[in-house]
Structure 1
Amino acid sequence: MKDIHTLTYLTNQHTFNLLGKMKLSITIKENPYNLKMENLFGLAARKNKKRGFLFVSKALGKHLPVNPYYSLLCGALLSARYTETVLKKQFPLKEQVIEAFRSKENMKECYHDLIEKPVPLSKQSLFIGFAETATALGHSMFEHFTNSSYIHTTREELVDFSSTIHFKEEHSHAISQCCYGKEEYFSTTDPIVLIDDEITTGKTTLNIIESIQTKFPRKEYTIVSILDWRSAEDEKRYKEMEQKYNIKIHSVSLVKGLLTVEGEPVEEEPKYKYPSSDQQKVHIIDHTNEAVKQLKNYHSITYKNSINSLKAVNPAPYLEVTGRFGVSDKVNKAVRTELNILGNYLKEKRQSAQSLCLGTGEFMYVPMRIASFMGENILFQSTTRSPIHRVNEPEYAIKSGFSFESPEDPNILHYFYNIPFEEYEEVFLFLERDGVETEHLIECLKQTGVSYIHIIKLSESGEHVHENEFKNI
């Protein structure tokens, strides 16, 4: 097949021909840290008629495997840009962070130096990361500030627990989003910072601002993203929103440019076949009991029943510190020691010199941080709800993938991508809670040629739930 996916690169001009069906042209207008586009994203075709392309991030740890410190430093770069442009302050170790991110060298040392130098905020600020791709990105930005708290949005539905705000992600395959952060996080007039990996039109951000503003009015918002492709017409809508509510909306990004799209979405996936061979014995090792023991001081576990599309209720506890229900900077700092302990425990259980850690759905930041403590030659990525065409061509971002029933809801398909056959000898699979069905996912992982699959559930249905000892920190 000709013209599967080609890229033309000039200093500020990029042209992508996507599967011979779509042409994307990008003009870079702002790139303050002089980052290389090929280190930030690739392109793939969505199975989505609303928006047929996807900027596949090379920094998120979502669709593609990354060094966990590369993803964590991407959040730090967003923190630096926000500190410079909105707070008008100097960000600690900025040049070292930029250099580590560009070169992919000394990332671990740079991150651990930086995390001990958070920026104090004069106003209590709420950071909100968008599900599902930016839950870890938002968290890894928030962690560089004091006097702050963090929440991520979610597509999960809870029983007898009302969403604080609702909004729609109109271009998505799953448009409805909720936010279960406690009202106390919203019931102030302090600034809110909204984080997503990429902004194309900005409609989703406007939707959440309107939802917040009508219920919890304030004067200041900031939208933060790695990539910002809004047109002049899109930016005009932001000015109109500012005038409508008499508010200020700041915009912060690592790269800003203009995007034009020609052609139609790809409707049929080109012929795809994943390599296979006689499946060897795969060892399944469940570390859940030991993992929970290692987190004996990690008492921010709460029971909130979820319900899926089949009306099945799961009473297993979530982890408060993911940000799903809100987490303060003090609590976030307090649990780092516990994540370090668990990471070191799992490091001792490794069977291979090259290991993959796999988060699930919105559950990204906690397993990413654990992975960062598991030694060298660790890569991290996560499963996703995004259906993407798979094409094994050199310049196309998504080369392989599997679909499987969501552990939370068998009516919803989830995916993992770009795990080449026999690339890893072992996978560490992280799940936030018990009471989910992993059989289909594990069967798909077995087909990748791994010898070991380690299961880590960070809470158990039958465990004793302590009072949150961090609530007054």
Structure 2
Amino acid sequence: MTTGGGSPGRVWPGEWVAARLGVRLVDRERPAGVGLADLVGLAVRRNPRRAHLLVSSVLGKHVPTDPRLVYGAGLLLGRLVRARLRPEPLGAALLAEALAHQDGAAAALRDAHKEPHAPLQAVVFGYAETATALGHSVADALGDAYYLHSTRRPVPGFTPYGAFEEEHSHATSHLILPADPLAFGCDAPVVLVDDELSTGTTALNTIRALHAVRPRRHYIIAALVDLRDDRARAMTRALAAELGARIETVSLAAGRVELPAGILPAGQRLVASLSHDERRTEGAAHAVRRVDIGWPDDLPDGGRHGFRPADGRRLGKELPAMAGRLADALPAGRRRVLVLGFEELMYAPLRLAEALADARPDLRVRYSTTTRSPVLAVDDPGYAIRTRLVFPAHDDPADGPGERYAYNVARGFDAIVLVVDDAGDTPALAAGLLPRLAEIADVLLVTVPAHRRQSR
């Protein structure tokens, strides 16, 4: 059983919640040689539907993380998927070493699973906003996969392939907007990727919807952590029997979250008692500068409308030069660099951060992204969300204006590289997030072109 964990000598960033709300993590399978507490910490949601939040230590969403660990963990999950399509050795030991922050282990993990492997054809689908880069990393590991992720952004010129709801989320509506519906509907195994499986209901609903449009014989659900109970696992088997299809699941670790009775009102009381005025505090304004890294106009910025293996090969060729331009633009003497992505735009900043870390080993590069998710911040080493930046949405979202957040970025950096697409490069950005970041460190703004064309 696990209620704490992580590296020896380190405080598990779930102890605070475990002590106050009685949340417990219990391990089950450990396919990658690590347990739940190695992969997640705990925080408290500002959400009337769920009290707790699992905060991943390898996703790079809420916690600034070595980008090579983030990409390496995603590639490792992809190797687990590969093993279901074609049996092959896994080699998972490096994940534990990377999580223990051993020198060079994150890069070694990434490199071990980035090596060329026989390409396997598949359609990989990631869930917005949290798993957009994770799904893309799984697709990279397969070598011949068409990648698409759901989106909450309607885009003119793209006909929806479908839509679905994610019941437990604070922002539930997802659109499926492939530029090439035929590529998304090809006869190949379908891999659904999310950061966690709580009940698996969203994935099963997606399989049912996709199967109604284009039946497949093989589906794989992949997640960093699998928290389904026996009843939820039986639901997966029942759907497979109903559809006459094979449905498998893979994860880096599995288990369950034990929640005491009354946790939802207890969590709400905790949020009410600890919330404070988060108005902007005026401080020294650091420099804000735009940097053109030379992202090609015809290279997709991610999988919102589809990403092909050829796009990935081209990105791999372009990345060193783009990272070099970014490195040249960093102010002199800045060594602690955060590359901050923007909501669903996770993969482009991840790969840019990874390339920057490779190009400049003298830098301490970390990666995370902004988010829609409202979470309580508590400045305690046993809590996963230490600081919280609040700012207005800046991409004219379809569901209207609202708050957005950046977590754990307020300390520890002397340069911040903010990566947005051009749809998010607006006056609201200039008046909101940019000055908030400039209170912390020098800011470099990188804008990549959002993919808009119907055909390529």
Following TM superposition, the consecutive aligned residue runs of length 4 or more in structure 1 with deviations greater than 4 angstroms are 14-17, 93-104, 273-278, 465-468
Alignment of 1:3-18 (within 5 A): 8-9=3-4, 18=17
| 1:428 to 2:414 alignment | no
Deviation at 1:234, TM superposition (A): 0.9
* SS of structure 1 residue aligned to 2:409: coil
8 A contact 1:433–1:457 mirrored in 2: yes
Report what 2:445 is aligned to.
455
Deviations 1:270-307 (A, max 9, x none): 144679976223211111xx32xx23xx2425xxxxxx
Task: State the one-letter code of the partner of 1:432.
Answer: D
User: Which residue, out of 316, 321, 324, partners 1:344?
Assistant: 324
Q: Could you tell me the percent identity over the aligned residues?
A: 26
Report what 2:403 is aligned to.
413
Deviation at 1:404, TM superposition (A): 1.2
Distance 1:166-1:278 versus aligned 2 partners, 3 A rule: closer
Report what 1:61 is aligned to.
60
Deviation at 1:446, TM superposition (A): 2.9
Deviation at 1:32, TM superposition (A): 2.4
Distance in 1 between residues matched to 2:313 and 2:102, nearest whole Å: 25
Deviation at 1:114, TM superposition (A): 4.0
8 A contact 2:14–2:42 mirrored in 1: no
Alignment of 1:65-144 (within 5 A): 65-91=64-90, 95=93, 99-100=97-98, 103-106=101-104, 107-112=106-111, 114-121=113-120, 124-144=121-141
Report what 1:398 is aligned to.
385
Report what 1:248 is aligned to.
246
Structure with the higher fraction of residues in strand conformation: 1
Deviation at 1:48, TM superposition (A): 1.3
Distance in 2 between residues matched to 1:101 and 1:164, nearest whole Å: 38
User: Which residue, out of 218, 224, 240, partners 1:220?
Assistant: 218
8 A contact 1:404–1:414 mirrored in 2: yes
Deviation at 1:187, TM superposition (A): 2.4
Deviation at 1:39, TM superposition (A): 3.5
| 1:279 to 2:268 alignment | no
8 A contact 1:400–1:418 mirrored in 2: yes
Distance in 2 between residues matched to 1:142 and 1:242, nearest whole Å: 23
Report what 1:165 is aligned to.
162
TM-score computed with the length of structure 2 as normaliser: 0.86
Distance in 1 between residues matched to 2:150 and 2:26, nearest whole Å: 31
Distance in 2 between residues matched to 1:169 and 1:48, nearest whole Å: 14
Report what 2:50 is aligned to.
51
| 1:445 to 2:449 alignment | no
* SS of structure 2 residue aligned to 1:105: coil
Deviation at 1:141, TM superposition (A): 1.6
| 1:323 to 2:296 alignment | no
Deviation at 1:101, TM superposition (A): 5.5
Deviations 1:440-469 (A, max 9, x none): 11122233x32x1111111399xxx9998x
8 A contact 1:70–1:104 mirrored in 2: no
Task: State the one-letter code of the partner of 2:149.
Answer: H
Distance 1:169-1:271 versus aligned 2 partners, 3 A rule: closer
Stretches of structure 2 that go unaligned for 5 or more consecutive residues are 7-12
Range moving further from structure 2, 426-435 or 59-68: 426-435
Stretches of structure 1 that go unaligned for 5 or more consecutive residues are 1-6, 302-319
Distance 1:109-1:260 versus aligned 2 partners, 3 A rule: closer
Range moving further from structure 2, 103-112 or 51-60: 103-112
Range moving further from structure 2, 215-224 or 139-148: 139-148
Deviation at 1:23, TM superposition (A): 2.3
Cα RMSD for the two superposed structures? 2.8
Distance in 2 between residues matched to 1:403 and 1:201, nearest whole Å: 30
TM-score computed with the length of structure 1 as normaliser: 0.83
Range moving further from structure 2, 435-444 or 74-83: 435-444
Distance in 2 between residues matched to 1:260 and 1:17, nearest whole Å: 15
Distance in 2 between residues matched to 1:87 and 1:247, nearest whole Å: 18
Distance in 1 between residues matched to 2:18 and 2:38, nearest whole Å: 21
Distance in 2 between residues matched to 1:321 and 1:454, nearest whole Å: 18
Distance in 1 between residues matched to 2:374 and 2:275, nearest whole Å: 16
Deviation at 1:401, TM superposition (A): 0.3
Alignment of 1:359-378 (within 5 A): 359-374=341-356, 375=360, 376-378=363-365
8 A contact 1:354–1:425 mirrored in 2: yes
Task: State the one-letter code of the partner of 2:393.
Answer: S
| 1:230 to 2:234 alignment | no
Distance in 1 between residues matched to 2:280 and 2:198, nearest whole Å: 38
Task: State the one-letter code of the partner of 1:335.
Answer: L
Deviation at 1:70, TM superposition (A): 0.7
Report what 1:156 is aligned to.
153
Distance in 1 between residues matched to 2:171 and 2:391, nearest whole Å: 17
Distance 1:152-1:105 versus aligned 2 partners, 3 A rule: farther
Distance in 1 between residues matched to 2:395 and 2:297, nearest whole Å: 23
Task: State the one-letter code of the partner of 1:455.
Answer: L
Deviation at 1:260, TM superposition (A): 2.1
8 A contact 1:28–1:256 mirrored in 2: yes
Distance in 2 between residues matched to 1:275 and 1:354, nearest whole Å: 26
